[in-house]
Structure 1
Amino acid sequence: MAHPSVTRFTDLANKISRNTAIITEYLTSKSLPATSFDVDGLAELPIPPEDNVAIQARLDLAAATKELHDLTVGPKQSLHDLSWDLSSLSLRFIWEFNVTACVPLNESISFPDLTARISTENDNRPLGVMNVRRLLRHAMTNRIFCEPTKGYVAHTRSSRLLLEDEPLKNWIGFTTKDLTLPVAHTVDAMKKWPCSEEPNETGVNLAFGHNTPWFQFLPSDPVRSKRYNLAMQAHGETAGYDMKDVVDGYPWGDLPENAKVVDVGGNQGYISFAIAERFPKLRFVVQDQASMRTPETIGVVPEELQARVELTMHDFFEPQTELGAAVYFFRMIFHGFSDKHCVKILRALAPAMRKGGKVVINDGALPEPGTATYLEERACRTLDLFMQVVVNAREREADDWTDIFSEADRRYRVNRVWRPKGNVMSFIEAEWTGE
């Protein structure tokens, strides 16, 4: 009888075969192509979120292929490879020198000619053919560019994305330029400021040599700030962050006629606009700091929504000025703060609450270990680390939300925590039980 470790190989192979068949049959039945690294190939599988069977097959296939790969390589080689993966180096080079714009879209170019072109596009900075060649050949191991003929470089679908997708291009710039040093300094920050919950005692502060919290530091550098905003746009466009999931994921339609929803920290109101369009009986007050309400930054409420949506100023660490709303809505706010600061936000909100009023949070909620697919858990755990790196904040499990509300005020009662299927974001609903 085969050892269980051997049969695991067969189980995974069968799972890969089964889920591949589901996806290929789905695509074939709809006459759709699959993704491809060909320069004109699809960048994403054309499976909409509502096609649950095919979506689940994609998630299961990704998990099974990753596990089979890791088992085939083995734990020893996996650890070795993980510790010295220098993909961010070749990506940083491509982004920093705008290499994608120097490679013709539908033909190849020799390494010497490409090196000369990159140099010309970067103030005639000398680079050397050898450096360009080795960096791009490393990127090619991740299917970014290809070498169709020895000594010649051509685009793949991945490198073309870095040429044409501006938010994704800025995501690469943010992660490889702005985040690499803070990540490298995060463990040192943990040693210097043990168990810190302060947003100015992070890897960012050690890396850049200042004591300003990240979100106050960003506006001081307009170039970095713009890059970050576009990077967040790219992140928000990935699977599981769709605005549609906010509209569909909470029972807004169950709120009473003319109910007031306060969108706390709601930026320019894009989420409120989407909910208001779907649910015309609701009113919205969108709050954000004064810096988001200047003539240079303030957005415009669509004309058809101006009677029901208002953009106002409010600092959520100060006592809430909108009293007795049906819902106080926070989207992607709490994960940017440590527990002590989240408690402060909820305490500042408490005086405005009325019996039966709801606090609805659309934020991360970490899954119980082993309950999510590989792609979902990887995304959640990575985001959790990102929040530690930049602001000493974190993603939270369901029990953590209960603890935070309870510490803020015993009159808050967490009704439920749920994550819509296929979504990275969760909903946390708490109710005010006081008067």
Structure 2
Amino acid sequence: MSSLKRITALSDEISKNSKTVTDYLSEKGLEAASFDVDGLAEFPINPSDEEAFKARLALIAATRELHDLSLGPKEGLRYLAWDSANQLSLQAVYEFKLAEAVPLSGSISYQDLSEKVNVPMLNLRRVIRHAMTNHIFHEPEKGFVAHTRTSRLLLEDLPLSSWVGFMTNDLWLPIANVVKAMKKWPGSGESNETSVNLAYGTDTNWFDWLQEDKDLAKRYGLAMQAHGGGEGFAISHTVNGYPWGELGEATVVDMGGSQGYVSFAIAEQFPKLNFIVQDTAGMRVSSTIAKVPEHLTDRVQLTTHDFFTPQTVDAQVYFFRWIFHGFSEKYCIKILQALTPALKTGAKIVINDGTLPEPGTAGYVEEKSMRTMDLFMQITVNAREREVDDWAELFKQADERYKFLKAWKPEKSRMWFIEAEWTG
């Protein structure tokens, strides 16, 4: 009977949280997200509206669990196993530029669309009608295709469209080769012994291989823009989530900081801090930000330095944002060891990165997101996301003189802060 009680409990929870969300939207005079072509693409609930925001996350988790329970484990496993077909139809929509070919208003027949994109009508109709099961396009009358809000996003949101292309096209073969790579290179931490190398027959590591194709590099950059703009990844969490003001008049070295946009944001809010942004010359060239804002030139410097080479700058804080999750243990240890020539007693290492929650301790959306990110780091570079204990162990392996202090996640952020101190 416990399974019956769980279904009832989930139903009640869905009803309660649906009411909280709809009451909030009604009170604010807002509409909900919709698949209608002119509807809202995102739920208009800000994380600062705490009750409604939490209710929405709880609603997502409860509806998913009720869906899975209603299917049952046997049917659910069968569905999960053939779920790659979702990517297949989405890949076809992206590759054949179907969102661009379907008129934004009105509709187009399958036959006319077939001639427009040069894909045989039966094959075209097959993939589109499958995509429709995921709310991508709809069929207002038999034999005609029209946009939904979801397919319209592929037409109008270039970063999101690039994200779709990157995931369904560029990483399609690597995903299928992960298990083969695990068998070929058991436990490898090398960035050129991955499923990407198997899939594309290259000995080059991911980031170098990426730069060999300008279109791919551009698509990747736009895709990362879409990912970074997701809920919980805003720079404001980096600015407000660490006690920068307590550092006083300190120098912060922003390691791998590209053209310094994060340092700019922190410097704006904390005028006593000075920043030295370090990155390789290649990252300088590929960045779209040209220079330090005029009013920050006396406090922010852009310099060239490879964080695998010995550090020479004496500072109070060495800051890494979204760096360590891109490297295996072996290379993360090298990064930390390269710092030691410059470290003075009391210097702090501040890392702003992803951290895996203990199983079952986070909400469904957060845990699913982080576990998926963990897999993608393996796919591309043989790196991984880490739990809090893993961060502590990383510092210990790098040098016993590192003292792990703590790790915490700012409220509403998806990224954590990890802090350690050099004891000399």
Gaps of at least 5 residues in structure 1 are 120-126
What TM-score do you get using the length of structure 2 for normalisation?
Answer: 0.98
Partners of 2:326 and 2:340 in 1: how far apart?
20
**1:282-339 Cα shifts (integer Å, max 9, x gaps):** 111111001123498773111111111111000000001211x121110010000001
| Mapping 1:400-411, distance limit 5 Å | 400-411=390-401
2:261 corresponds to: 270
What is the correspondence of 1:250-265 to structure 2 with a 5 Å cutoff? 250-257=242-249, 259-265=250-256
Deviation at 1:421, TM superposition (A): 2.3
Aligned to 2:343: 353
1:318 alignment partner in structure 2: 309
Q: 1:11-410 alignment to 2 at 5 Å?
A: 11-85=9-83, 86-119=85-118, 127-257=119-249, 259-294=250-285, 299-323=290-314, 325-410=315-400
Q: Aligned letter for 1:169?
A: S
Matches of 1:399 and 1:296 in 2, distance apart?
Answer: 34
Q: Which residue of 2 aligns with 1:124?
A: none
For residue 278 of structure 2, give the secondary structure of its aligned residue in structure 1: strand
Q: In 2 relative to 1, CA 66–297 (structure 1 residues): closer, same or farther, beyond 3 Å?
A: closer
Q: Specify the code of the residue in structure 2 equivalent to 1:177.
A: N
Moved beyond 4 Å, runs of 4+: 294-298
Task: Specify the SS of the correspondent of 2:230.
Answer: coil
Structure 2: tracts of 5 or more residues without a match: none
| Separation (CA, whole Å) in 2 of partners of 1:241 and 1:311 | 24
Contact 1:100 1:163 (8 Å CA) reproduced: yes
Q: How many equivalent pairs are there?
A: 423
Tell me whether 35-44 or 51-60 shows the greater mean CA deviation. 51-60
| Structure 2 letter corresponding to 1:108 | S
- Code of the residue aligned with 1:164 in structure 2: it is E
| Counterpart secondary structure, 2:115 | helix
Structure 1 vs Structure 2 CA RMSD: 1.2
Assess if the C-alpha contact under 8 Å between 2:259 and 2:287 holds in 1. no
CA distance in structure 2 between the partners assigned to 1:427 and 1:52 by the alignment? 22
Q: Distance in 1 between matches of 2:364 and 2:25?
A: 23
Matched-pair contact (CA < 8 Å) for 1:108–1:154: yes
After TM superposition, give the deviation of residue 12 of structure 1 in Å.
0.2
Change in 2 beyond 3 A, CA 1:295/1:38: closer
| CA distance in structure 2 between the partners assigned to 1:71 and 1:292 by the alignment | 47
2-structure distance, mates of 1:398, 1:421: 17
Q: Report sequence identity in percent.
A: 60
2:253 counterpart SS class: strand
Is the contact between residue 174 and residue 195 of structure 2 (CA under 8 Å) also seen in structure 1? yes
Contact 2:405 2:419 in 1 (8 A): yes
CA distance in structure 1 between the partners assigned to 2:138 and 2:287 by the alignment: 43
Counterpart Cα distance in 1 of 2:398 and 2:10? 46
Range with bigger deviation, 289-298 or 310-319? 289-298
Distance 1:268 1:91 in 2: 34
